[in-house]
Amino acid sequence: MSATQMPDSNTSDALAARILARRHRFQWWEPLPWLLALGFYFVFPRYLGFGTELLITVLFAISLDLALGYAGIITLGHAAFFGAGAYTVGILAKHEIWTEPISGLVIAAIVAGAVGLLSGLVLLRTTGLTLLMLTLCTMGLLEETANMASEVTGGFDGLDSLPIKPIFGTFEFDVLYSSTQYLYVLGVLLVCFIFVRTLVYSPYGHSLTGIRENTLRMHAIGAPVRMRLVTCYAISAALAGVAGALWAQANAYVNLSTLGLDRAATVMIILVLGGYGRLYGSIVGAIAYMALSHFLSKAYPTAWQLGLGVLLVAIALFARGGILGIADQIRSRLGRAKEQKPS
């Protein structure tokens, strides 16, 4: 091959950089979910408590999606970090050590991230079912620790009536109507979403996807696979801790349910429903799950979980990509139909 035929590595790198930049660029429709969320505040003031819970659940789902959907870390104990963040804020506020909300989120993220880092260094030596069970055991250990340390954590009853200072010293938390909480949580969610979006479209994020798709190949090209997974796990844990801290601040309450299996399983179901490995899958899945749970429980109080279970089984069997996967299939079929249509 002549010199003129040799591929220019600089040109290839520049082309790859342009492709990454194009993928990272915001699409025209991406502000729409956030505008709808803001509109919800004005249109449905009676449902702001439900909306606040939904936004917190979205953030929790995004944190799990970073670990599971992008890095392929199989975990059923993600509620351990949600609870770590919630109890960090709860303990500091209840014992009047620290009650400022925004800095409280930072402290909760640091604590939950540290728990994720330390546990990840040990747990991520394993894979598959072993890893799944160890993450579940870690969550169980934290839950039992919180239950036994009742003098600090309140034990089974938890910590209630948490004294949280006004945001920026001005905006009081409204426990009854959740008006302040909703906008506060929406703002934090937007910041965290932009951070995660930037992360997953960066070279680091693409390396996580490469590890998920083919770990052996990433080892072969010299990528530090284990440390990439550990750091991703820690970042994911920190985001889950922020979600837990928001839950504690919004409800002025924290109990053992924040560390429970129900919460961990629910967020896993949300990712399956919306589509994991897709940032907006967390949003779509959380909206679908919570809306269905809300309306089905009202219509069929004793059998709503059966209907939800049937829907989830159908999606798991026939739509592996979740709701967004179905949307992609419809869009691709419509595109093929347009191409085949005679002019």
Question: pLDDT digits over 79-108, tens only?
Answer: 999 999 999 999 999 998 999 999 999 999
Q: Which two tokens stand for residue 59?
A: 């953030």
Written as six digits, the tokens of 292 are 């269905």
- Kindly report the CATH number assigned to the domain that includes residue 114: 1.10.3470
Exposed/middle/buried for 57, CB within 10 Å: 0-12, 13-18, 19+? buried
Q: pLDDT tens digit string along 235-248?
A: 999 999 999 999 99
| Structure confidence by residue, pLDDT tens digits, 10-52 | 665 566 556 655 666 778 888 999 999 999 999 999 999 999 9
Does 21 reside within a domain?
no
Q: How many CB atoms are located within 10 Å of the residue 270 CB?
A: 27
239 occurs within a structural domain: yes
* Residue 226 maps to a domain: yes
Q: How far apart are CA 199 and CA 204, in angstroms?
A: 7
Q: How many CB atoms sit inside 10 A of residue 8's CB?
A: 9
Mean pLDDT of the region 263-291 = 91
**Alpha carbon distance 48, 204 (integer Å):** 36
Query: What pLDDT was estimated at residue 1?
Result: 46
Q: Residue 248 in contact with residue 60, Cβ under 8 Å?
A: no
Instruction: State the average pLDDT over residues 183-202.
Output: 96
22 falls within a domain: no
pTM of the model: 0.90
Range of the domain at 306: 29-337
Provide the CA 331 distance to its chain's centre, in angstroms.
26
* Per-residue pLDDT at 178: 76
Tokens of 64: 């799990």
Domain assignment of residue 17, yes or no: no
Q: What phi and psi values does residue 262 have, to the nearest 5 degrees?
A: -55, -45
| 2 falls within a domain | no
- The count of domains in the chain is 1
Residue 152 lies in a domain: yes
Instruction: Give me the percent of the chain exceeding a pLDDT of 70.
Output: 91
Q: What was the pLDDT predicted at 50?
A: 92
The length of the chain, given as a count of residues? 343
The gap between the terminal CA atoms of the chain, to the nearest Å, is: 44
To which residue do tokens 């920190």 refer?
238
pLDDT at 337 over 80: no
